[in-house]
Amino acid sequence: MKIKSYEKQYFAQLGAVMDKARMQELEAENLEPVFVAFRDAPYLDYLFSCKIYVALEDGKLMGFIGFKPGKIEFIYVDPNAQGRGIATKLMEKTLDELKRPVSLEVFTNNNRAKVLYKKFGFETVKTITEKWSDEYPVLFSQDTMELK
Encode pLDDT of 42-73 as tens digits: 999 999 999 999 999 999 999 999 999 999 99
pTM above 0.85, yes or no: yes
Q: Residue 89: pLDDT band by 50, 70, 90 thresholds?
A: very high
CB proximity list for 32: less than 8 A, separation 6 or greater: 23, 26
CA–CA dist 19, 1 (Å, integer): 21
Q: What angle do CA 114, 115, 117 make, to 5 degrees?
A: 60
Give me the mean pLDDT over the 130-142 stretch: 92
CA 144 to mean position of chain CA atoms: 13
Q: What angle do CA 62, 69, 106 make, to 5 degrees?
A: 55
Return mean pLDDT, the chain: 96
pLDDT at 37: 96
CB atoms closer than 10 angstroms to residue 125: 12
Cβ–Cβ under 8 Å, residues 36 and 23: no
Torsion on CA atoms 94, 10, 36, 117, rounded to nearest 10: -20
